[in-house]
Amino acid sequence: MAATDQVELRGMVARQIIDVIDAVSMARRQSRVELVEEILRAWSETRLHEANLVNAVAGRNPSRPERARKSNRADLPLWPEVPER
């Protein structure tokens, strides 16, 4: 990865989380940044996989639920109502 493909990430994180990250990075003999990048890479790959599955199952940018599209009824709502708790 070229240096121009990287961006800086900053922010406050709970001490307990950083303590665990530091302990794991020390045990693995890698830097904190390397470990955080590993964690974020795995997380982003999972999200990308989820998005690809949603796209494959639901189709590209579906504007109406399947029952409304198949029946071609304009009176059916775009999305079903979500009951309140």
Residue type for position 79? W
Please check whether residue 26 lies inside any domain of the structure. Answer: yes
Please check whether residue 80 lies inside any domain of the structure. Answer: no
Please check whether residue 77 lies inside any domain of the structure. Answer: no
Q: What is the pTM of this model?
A: 0.61
Of the pLDDT bands very low, low, confident and very high (cuts 50, 70, 90), residue 56 is: confident
Query: What pLDDT is attached to residue 20?
Result: 98
- Per-residue pLDDT of 1-53, as tens digits, reads 566 788 999 999 999 999 999 999 999 999 999 999 999 999 999 999 988 88
Domain holding 23, by residue range, is 9-71
How far apart, in whole angstroms, are the C-alpha atoms of residue 38 and residue 44?
Answer: 10
Please list, in sequence order, all residues whose beta carbon lies within 8 angstroms of the beta carbon of residue 28, skipping any fewer than 6 positions away: 35
How far apart, in whole angstroms, are the C-alpha atoms of residue 1 and residue 32?
Answer: 19
Q: Give the count of domains, the chain.
A: 1
Is the pLDDT confidence value at 63 over 70? no
Query: What pLDDT is attached to residue 45?
Result: 93
